[in-house]
Amino acid sequence: MKITVLGATGSIGLSTLDVVARHPDRYEVFALTAFSRIDELRALCLIHRPCYAVVAEEASARCLQQDLQQAGLDTRVLVGEGGLCEVAAHPEVDAVMAAIVGAAGLRPTLAAVKADKRVLLANKEALVMSGALFMQALRESDALLLPIDSEHNAIFQCLPPDYGRGLAAVGVRRVLLTASGGPFREMAVDQLRDVSPEQACAHPNWSMGRKISVDSASMMNKGLELIEACWLFDARPEQVEVVIHPQSVIHSMVDYIDGSVLAQLGNPDMRTPIAHALAWPERIHSDVSPLDLLRIGRLDFQAPDEQRFPCLRLARLAAQACGTAPAMLNAANEVAVDAFLSGRIRFTEIASIIDDVLGREASVPAACLEDVLAADAQARVLAGQWLSRYGQ
C-alpha cells in the first residue's frame, strides 16, 4: 500500500511514519508534505525516500530539491495547495493520511476523497467546515473514510458495521465523547485569563502540536470533535454528549437502547488509531504498550463546566445552526489561537473573539465549497477587526 502523508512533520504524521516503518512489507511512503518545518521534512525524506515532497513556498522547494538531489534522491518537490492536491489524488496512491492542521487541509482531503482513496482523517476541520459537502463527495465516490482522532476512531470501533443506516436503526441512544479536560480542568476560573501559552500547551496526557494543544486547553478541540462526530456518524448534536475523563484511557463510548455501553480503551498513544485505520479491517502491531488497568486503578468522569470552557458551548451552538456557522467558528478560533500563542490576547479572549464573530455574521446554507471558503474568509476578517479594536 502506497501512502501519502499530508502534514508529515506534525505529531500525527510522525506517528504514522513510525507505524509504517514497522511494516515495510505492507506499506510504502509515496509522498510527504510540510508547511514550514523544511529541515524536518528533509530528514524524513532521507529516511523514507518518497517519490514526492510538498512545501508551501517556491524558495523552500528549490532549496529542498537541491538538497535531495545532492543526497542522491529522485524525490520531486512540489509547491502549495496544487502540490498537496496532486499527491493526495495521485493514481499510484492507495491511502492518504490527512493530518494538516486547520482549514489548509480541506482541499487536499477532498481531492483524496474524489480520487477514491482510503482517507485516514485526522484533519477534523475538513468536516467541521464543509461537513455536508464533504459527506456528499464521499457518497459519490468509492473512497473509504476512516477516522483517526482517538475519540472518533473509538466510536467507529464500538458501532456495528451497518451504522450507516442511522444510529436509531442500529439501536444507538447516544455517543459519549470523552475529553481529558486539558491542563486547566481544575484551575480556578478567575485564574484562566492569566495563563500562558506554555501552560496551555502542557497537555497532561497527549503530546500534540501547539495549536491543537491550545484547543484542548479551551475544549474547542472537543467542540470541533462534536461537530465532526455529527457528520461522521449521522448524529444530531443532542445525541453527542461530552464527558470529562481525566485518565484518557476510555477514548469514547456508544450507549445502546438496551442499556449496553460499549467503550474502546487503550493507552493515550495515537499509533493505536493510526494502526487500526491503516490495516482495517485487519489488526497490526503498533508498538503501543498494553493497557495495565491494575496500575491505573480508577477511571473518573465528570460533566464539563461551560463557564470554564465557553468554547464548547459555542461549538455546540454552531453545530445546531449548521450551514456556514461551523466554518466561521473554526476560522475565528484559528485566528484567536494564533493571537494567543503570539501574546496578543489572553487565553479567555479566545472565546470572546469566536462569540463576537458568530454574533456578527449570520449562518447561511453552504451550497458549494466557495460558500464555505467565503464564510471562512469573512470570519477571519471579523476576528481581525476584533484584534484591531482590543488586541495588543
Q: What is the domain-level CATH number for residue 349?
A: 1.10.1740.10
Neighbours of 36 (CB within 10 A): 12
Task: Give the annotated binding-site residues for 1-deoxy-D-xylulose 5-phosphate.
Answer: 124, 150-151, 180, 203, 216, 221-222, 225
Supply the DSSP string of 107-170, one letter for each residue. Answer: HHHHHHHHTT-EEEE--THHHHHHHHHHHHHHHTS--EEEE-SHHHHHHHHHS-TTGGG-TGGG
Looking at the fold, whether 180 and 274 belong to one and the same domain comes out as yes
CA-nearest of 304, 286, 362 to 328 is 362
Looking at the fold, whether 143 and 22 belong to one and the same domain comes out as yes
Domain boundary among 147, 169, 195: 147
Asked if residue 28 belongs to a domain, the reply is yes
Per the CB < 8 A criterion, the answer to whether 75 and 46 are in contact is no
Per the CB < 8 A criterion, the answer to whether 33 and 6 are in contact is yes
Asked if residue 317 belongs to a domain, the reply is no
Looking at the fold, whether 353 and 216 belong to one and the same domain comes out as no
Task: Kindly tell me the sign of the dihedral angle through the C-alpha atoms of 136, 137, 143, 145.
Answer: negative
Looking at the fold, whether 196 and 279 belong to one and the same domain comes out as yes
Looking at the fold, whether 138 and 160 belong to one and the same domain comes out as no
Neighbours of 11 (CB within 10 A): 18
Domain boundary among 147, 171, 190: 147
Asked if residue 303 belongs to a domain, the reply is no
Task: Give the annotated binding-site residues.
Answer: 9-12, 123-125, 149-151, 180, 203, 209, 216, 221-222, 225
Contacts of 324 (CB under 8 A, 6+ apart): 363, 364, 365, 366, 371, 372, 375
Go through the chain and tell me how many residues it has: 392
∠ Cα 86 91 103 (to 5°):
35
Asked if residue 314 belongs to a domain, the reply is no
- Residue with cell string 497490526: 284
Asked if residue 311 belongs to a domain, the reply is no
Domain boundary among 128, 147, 166: 147
Task: Give the annotated binding-site residues for NADPH.
Answer: 9-12, 123, 125, 209
Burial 319-357 (b: 16+ CB within 10 A, else e): bebbbbbbbbbbbbbbbbbbbbbeeebbbbbbbebbbbb
Per the CB < 8 A criterion, the answer to whether 9 and 25 are in contact is no
Indicate the number of domains in the chain: 3
- Say if strands 250-256 and 261-265 run parallel, antiparallel, or are unpaired: antiparallel
Asked if residue 305 belongs to a domain, the reply is no
Looking at the fold, whether 47 and 93 belong to one and the same domain comes out as yes
Looking at the fold, whether 65 and 197 belong to one and the same domain comes out as no
Task: Give the residue numbers spanning the domain of 58.
Answer: 2-147
Distance between CA atoms of 254 and 264, rounded to whole angstroms?
A: 9
CATH number at residue 109: 3.40.50.720
CA-nearest of 227, 190, 228 to 98 is 228
Contacts of 28 (CB under 8 A, 6+ apart): 1, 2, 3
Looking at the fold, whether 167 and 138 belong to one and the same domain comes out as no
Asked if residue 301 belongs to a domain, the reply is no
Looking at the fold, whether 107 and 185 belong to one and the same domain comes out as no
Looking at the fold, whether 252 and 326 belong to one and the same domain comes out as no
Looking at the fold, whether 197 and 86 belong to one and the same domain comes out as no
Asked if residue 287 belongs to a domain, the reply is yes
Task: Give the annotated binding-site residues for Mn(2+).
Answer: 149, 151, 225
pTM above 0.85, yes or no: yes
Neighbours of 171 (CB within 10 A): 14
Looking at the fold, whether 180 and 203 belong to one and the same domain comes out as yes
Along the 392 residues of the chain, how does pLDDT read in single tens digits? Answer: 999 999 999 999 999 999 999 999 999 999 999 998 999 999 999 999 999 999 999 999 999 999 999 999 999 999 999 999 999 999 999 999 999 987 788 999 999 999 999 999 998 888 999 999 999 999 999 999 999 999 999 999 999 999 989 999 999 999 999 999 988 988 889 899 999 999 999 877 666 778 889 999 999 999 999 999 999 999 999 999 999 999 999 999 999 999 999 999 999 999 999 999 999 999 999 999 999 999 999 999 999 998 899 999 999 999 999 999 999 999 999 999 999 999 999 999 999 999 999 999 999 999 999 999 999 999 999 999 999 998 76
